[in-house]
Chain A
Amino acid sequence: MSGGIFSSAMPVIKGGKVTGSLKKLGGGDLFICYQCGSCTAICPVSEELETSFRKAIRYAQLELEDRLLSDPLPWLCYYCGECTKTCPRDAKPSRIMDSLRRYLISKYDWTHIAGLVQSSKLYLTLANIVLFAISLLFIYLIHGPMDQTKVDLSMFLPPSKVELMGISVGLVSLVIILGGLYRSYRFIVHDKTANSAKGPLSSLPTLVKYLLLQFPMNRCENKRRWVDHLLIFYGFILLGIMTLTMFTVLTLAPNPYLYASLRDPSTFLGLAWTLLGVAASAMILYSIISSIVNRLRGKDIYYITATTHTDIAFIIVVFLITLTGIFVLAFRLFNQPILAYYSYAIHVALQPLLFLIELPFSKFSHFIYRPFIAYFASMKGMRIPHAVFKKGGGLL
């Protein structure tokens, strides 16, 4: 407002440790907030909470790092944007929540890499490019002969070597993620304000609900985003199960006959297996395309919320992995050996990006942290949303 001296001037406050980080993560409107509580009151998950979203913003304004770290609240927000529509100060609370989540990811991460990739486009891009180059180099070094007459992927890239790469990538990823989870557990459960703790077993339903149903995202007005999240989640789960099955029949409990029939689309089992893979890819692809289209159309929530560089990187990586996977299948079916080998090389070389950057440090990590932090909050004895079905039997 250009109301001369009577305009409501924004306070000029230099960022401290917390607010400085949040500003870099897109939560720069933090100080406009005058603590009216509109965001809490409009939020579809607030009713079952014993705390408020406004409080998290207050903690940040006051630089109360310990309070923020022990607060699972940002993880219960699914960025539906109702608060941003309602905010009388246009402080964009949903964006502050998003920046808080990314701030927490960088605090949970013990390698300190998350902080870099979350706050810097450059670091994230560089990390992706360098890792992709290393993977390609590795594939170039290990690749075997390329059969020009028919597509033979196991001759081009020996499964034992791909498995070795997969296992090492998986182990590193697991160590980083487990470290992050342990730290978040310490921050939340071992916080002095905890009063009535519950056992890890009795809190298990919370974990299941938050993980398998992507709960409480179904509370958001826009159910489409929830469906998209479910699709991509189960697409990944399906592909994960398929990969483990392949690993089992190939290496853990070798069964050459089963392996061969799974690989051959002309058999019934092979066809079913291929179709299952196609279905999983389609689920992921649909969700990714839906998120791109909605962002480009600028409709609804995507219009009022911000797309960060971590979102874009995740979308690109997953889109390319899925696309190259489909290419490999198509070139195999239409017998285009050279194209199949190149697609396969890129497809495999992209995987480490997902498991060494996206999963532990960037966008993909929220899929791990959300359910587990809800689980920890439940262990701590905090009241968090639990009723999948709303009172009165309404749809979820």
Chain B
Amino acid sequence: MSKPVLVLGGGIAGIQAALDLAEQGVDVYLADKLPSVGGKMAQLDKTFPTLDCASCILTPKMAALLRYPNIKLIMCSEIQEVGGSVGNFSVRILKRPTYVDWDKCNGCGTCVEKCPKKVPDEFNMGLSMRKAIHIMFPQAVPRKALIDEKACMRLNPPPELKEKAKGPLCGICERVCPAKAIDFNQKPETIELNVAAIIIATGMELYNAGNIPEYGYGKYQNVYTHLEFERLVSATGPTQGEIVRRSDGKHPKRIAWIQCVGSRDVRFNSYCSAFCCMAATKEAILAKEHLPDVECTIYYMDIRAFGKGFNEFVERAKREFGIRYVRGKVVKIDEDPKTKNLVLTYEDTASSYMKKEEYDMVVLAVAVRPSPPPLPVDLTADGFIKLRDPYLDPVSTTKEGIFVVGVVAGAKDIPDSVTEASAAAARAALIAKGMHEALISIPVDGGDCHV
């Protein structure tokens, strides 16, 4: 006899937690605000330090979710209210309408093909267009179509067309759908759940690089974020892996990566974002693989390659791929208005010279920002979810029965997120099976330590 567990967030951490719980026979609700699981990892091209294809290792896990009858996915949802306590949480979740009956939709994509309305594709970081009715990405789980109500001409008709038209506009998807799944009358739905435990795995968003005026992100066309570059270099991305400049569509000859953009900077976020050193190294290697003649330079303050095989990866990048590492913080980027090239100003701290260097493309290692859900748990001053005991209970929040894993608890990489997910799943399963009373509770404040 066990009660269900709710996992919030369907990124790699949430997926791992859900799978581990299901494997132990616990019923799992996996909720995500997006229409597909996969999270940020689904947007990555390769993973460090082995350069494994991110999709190739993530997609089997995503697909596995569908094979467990005791995992229920609640997509396009947001948490509204949480009450109760350990073993007995009552949760209210709002499920946004998709305007497609997912019981009928078989993901054939005919509607997507015929839909006339195009808007920027969030999955590709706005580097390409998608239709108003769309499937989030080809490997989406569940692979179902949904309508973007803001973009759809039927649901949100442009005023000038609305006046002229006699009846409802467009509706092409409805006509072409072979499964008759389109339902323009779908309404938001409230789901009430009673769960034994909650695992928060809501992950992160990138810090808004536009807040850092000296780098000109959003103003200079050839300045990218890490995630944009990942999509650009990815075979499933907007250019099928072709690295081209936003300004003129040409291959760059010199690419610079700027580290610690909005992290380790008291003006923005004082914490380290943990994975950017490795991500930049990986992306520089990928750039070299795609364009062998490209010159890659990484501007850093410290290279934090602390994980297993990480330092070797950086050494390999230098030795085998000729990636140049320059120690110094770039203080500003200036754009050449004619060529749209970018001039970086920095101090090369190895030679103690102030220098300026020109690049065709710049990739910013933008800081992570946690995206915590509205749950009755404490946060730290920098917005991450506070841990009950960072040493001996690193997956528990300040509220018993609510666990936290992945980046929303603190910046970290994929392996660490997955490790935490399995740990939290084990803890949550004990509660779900009513066995947590047997656990020896460890005093948080060190108890009566007389050493």
User: Real complex partners, A and B?
Assistant: yes
List residues of A whose CB falls within 8 A of some B CB: 1-8, 34-38, 40-43, 46-47, 49-52, 54-55, 86, 88-90
Q: Are A3 and B354 in contact (CB under 8 A)?
A: no
Q: State whether the Cβ of B92 lies closer than 8 Å to any Cβ in chain A.
A: no
Q: Are B380 and A3 in contact (CB under 8 A)?
A: yes
Q: Which of B260, B331, B332, B352 has the most CB of A within 10 A?
A: B331
Q: State whether the Cβ of B427 lies closer than 8 Å to any Cβ in chain A.
A: no
Chain B residues numbered 320-339 whose CB sits less than 8 Å from any CB in chain A: 327-332
List A contacts of B400 (CB < 8 A).
none
Contact pattern, B 193-215, Cβ under 8 Å of A = 1, otherwise 0: 00000000000000000000010
**Cβ of A189 to closest chain B Cβ, rounded Å:** 21
Binds A, one of B25-33, B65-73, B265-273, B304-312: B265-273
With A3-B382, A5-B390, A34-B301 as contacts: A41 and B330 at CB distance below 8 Å? yes
With A3-B382, A4-B380, A37-B349 as contacts: A86 and B354 at CB distance below 8 Å? no
List B contacts of A90 (CB < 8 A).
266-267
**Cβ of B70 to closest chain A Cβ, rounded Å:** 36
**Cβ of A68 to closest chain B Cβ, rounded Å:** 15
Q: Are A3 and B381 in contact (CB under 8 A)?
A: yes
List A contacts of B327 (CB < 8 A).
37
Q: Which of A1, A51, A55 has the most CB of B within 10 A?
A: A1
A8 CA to B332 CA, complexed, in Å: 25
A193 CA to B54 CA, complexed, in Å: 54
Q: Are B271 and A6 in contact (CB under 8 A)?
A: yes
**Cβ of B81 to closest chain A Cβ, rounded Å:** 28
Q: Are B352 and A55 in contact (CB under 8 A)?
A: yes
8 nearest A-B pairs in the assembled complex, by CB-CB distance: A37-B347, A88-B265, A36-B329, A46-B354, A40-B347, A41-B331, A52-B352, A37-B328
Main secondary structure of the interface of A (DSSP, over half): loop
A2 CA to B265 CA, complexed, in Å: 15
Q: State whether the Cβ of B399 lies closer than 8 Å to any Cβ in chain A.
A: no
Chain B residues numbered 358-410 whose CB sits less than 8 Å from any CB in chain A: 380-382, 384, 386-387, 390, 410
Residue ID in chain A nearest B345 by CB atoms: A41
**Cβ of B26 to closest chain A Cβ, rounded Å:** 31
List A contacts of B347 (CB < 8 A).
37-38, 40-41, 46, 52, 54
A54 CA to B347 CA, complexed, in Å: 9
User: Can you list 14 contacts pairing A with B, beta carbon distance less than 8 Å?
Assistant: A2-B380, A4-B390, A6-B380, A6-B410, A8-B264, A34-B264, A36-B301, A36-B349, A37-B349, A41-B347, A42-B331, A88-B260, A88-B267, A90-B267
Interface size class of B (residues with CB under 8 A): 20 to 34
**Cβ of A273 to closest chain B Cβ, rounded Å:** 49
A6 CA to B387 CA, complexed, in Å: 11
With A37-B347, A88-B264 already in contact, 4 other A-B pairs whose C-beta atoms are closer than 8 Å: A3-B271, A4-B380, A41-B328, A88-B266
A37 CA to B348 CA, complexed, in Å: 8
Q: State whether the Cβ of B220 lies closer than 8 Å to any Cβ in chain A.
A: no
List A contacts of B349 (CB < 8 A).
35-37, 52, 54
Residue ID in chain B nearest A6 by CB atoms: B410
List A contacts of B301 (CB < 8 A).
34-36
**Cβ of B93 to closest chain A Cβ, rounded Å:** 30
Q: State whether the Cβ of B346 lies closer than 8 Å to any Cβ in chain A.
A: yes
Contact pattern, B 116-153, Cβ under 8 Å of A = 1, otherwise 0: 00000000000000000000000000000000000000
**Cβ of B300 to closest chain A Cβ, rounded Å:** 10
Q: Are A52 and B354 in contact (CB under 8 A)?
A: yes
Q: Are B332 and A42 in contact (CB under 8 A)?
A: yes
Q: Which of B327, B329, B380, B390 has the most CB of A within 10 A?
A: B329
**Cβ of B190 to closest chain A Cβ, rounded Å:** 36
Q: Are B346 and A37 in contact (CB under 8 A)?
A: yes
List B contacts of A55 (CB < 8 A).
352
**Cβ of A69 to closest chain B Cβ, rounded Å:** 18
With A51-B352, A88-B266 as contacts: A38 and B380 at CB distance below 8 Å? no
**Cβ of B445 to closest chain A Cβ, rounded Å:** 13
List residues of B whose CB falls within 8 A of some A CB: 214, 260, 264-267, 270-271, 301-302, 327-332, 345-349, 352-354, 380-382, 384, 386-387, 390, 410
A2 CA to B386 CA, complexed, in Å: 11
Residue ID in chain B nearest A48 by CB atoms: B354
**Cβ of B301 to closest chain A Cβ, rounded Å:** 5
List A contacts of B330 (CB < 8 A).
41
Q: Which of B265, B328, B347 has the most CB of A within 10 A?
A: B347
With A38-B331, A90-B266 as contacts: A8 and B271 at CB distance below 8 Å? yes
List B contacts of A49 (CB < 8 A).
353-354
A55 CA to B260 CA, complexed, in Å: 21
List A contacts of B331 (CB < 8 A).
38, 41-42, 86
A43 CA to B353 CA, complexed, in Å: 12
A52 CA to B352 CA, complexed, in Å: 5
Q: Are B353 and A50 in contact (CB under 8 A)?
A: yes
A88 CA to B262 CA, complexed, in Å: 9
From B264, B270, B354, B380, give the contact of A41 (CB < 8 A): B354
A303 CA to B271 CA, complexed, in Å: 27
List A contacts of B302 (CB < 8 A).
34
Q: Are A37 and B329 in contact (CB under 8 A)?
A: yes
A40 CA to B349 CA, complexed, in Å: 9
With A1-B381, A5-B390 as contacts: A38 and B329 at CB distance below 8 Å? yes
List B contacts of A51 (CB < 8 A).
352
List B contacts of A1 (CB < 8 A).
270-271, 381-382
**Cβ of B86 to closest chain A Cβ, rounded Å:** 23
**Cβ of B397 to closest chain A Cβ, rounded Å:** 13
A347 CA to B330 CA, complexed, in Å: 52
With A1-B381, A6-B380 as contacts: A41 and B271 at CB distance below 8 Å? no
Residue ID in chain A nearest B328 by CB atoms: A37
A38 CA to B270 CA, complexed, in Å: 16
A38 CA to B330 CA, complexed, in Å: 7
A43 CA to B347 CA, complexed, in Å: 10
List B contacts of A38 (CB < 8 A).
329, 331, 347
Residue ID in chain A nearest B260 by CB atoms: A88
A24 CA to B302 CA, complexed, in Å: 30
List A contacts of B328 (CB < 8 A).
36-37, 41
Residue ID in chain B nearest A37 by CB atoms: B347
A88 CA to B260 CA, complexed, in Å: 10
With A35-B349, A40-B347 as contacts: A2 and B332 at CB distance below 8 Å? no
**Cβ of B129 to closest chain A Cβ, rounded Å:** 37
A72 CA to B352 CA, complexed, in Å: 15
A372 CA to B342 CA, complexed, in Å: 39
With A36-B349, A37-B346 as contacts: A43 and B264 at CB distance below 8 Å? no
A37 CA to B344 CA, complexed, in Å: 13
**Cβ of A391 to closest chain B Cβ, rounded Å:** 13
**Cβ of B417 to closest chain A Cβ, rounded Å:** 16
